[in-house]
Amino acid sequence: MTDVQLEAYLSLKQQEQKIHTLEGPIQNIEQEIESYADNLERLTKLAIQETDESLHINKTLLKQQEAAAKEFAQFMQLHQHKFDALGDQGKAIGQQADIFETSIKANLGGIDYDQIQVLTPKSKQAQQHCDNNIRVMVI
């Protein structure tokens, strides 16, 4: 790879590391989000009972469901900055990926590809194979 391509590749790897760092706090709250969602679903099913002939709404349970929904909204608002940072980093990694792809295209000379794998001396040897028209290129 050229110096420009290598720089673009290393910048892409840095952006990937940043996104992995930002994913940690999100993964830490996933269980809580799931718990809120399960509770909301349970309360909704209990609060609203419907059959072919009737509709029964338990107002007490419906109020509990509304309170749980409000609590969940507050929880999400408290953590919204984490989701925003992850979204912003996703955009940054996409931009850096575009820069890397543009820098590497010059060397491909019109070769059609679906995927590029960059191997370094520290890379673990991945099994490489071709499937139908998919070409594997090692740069």
- Residue 130, pLDDT score: 57
What residues have CB less than 8 Å from 44, skipping those under 6 apart?
Answer: 65
- Residue 104, pLDDT score: 86
112, part of any domain: no
- Residue 110, pLDDT score: 74
132: left (phi > 0), else alpha (psi -120 to 50), else beta?
left
Number of domains in the chain: 1
Which mean pLDDT values do the consecutive 10-residue runs of the chain (139 residues) have?
89 94 92 96 94 93 96 97 95 95 82 74 64 52
19, part of any domain: yes
Per the structure, the complete domain to which residue 16 belongs is given by 3-105
122, part of any domain: no
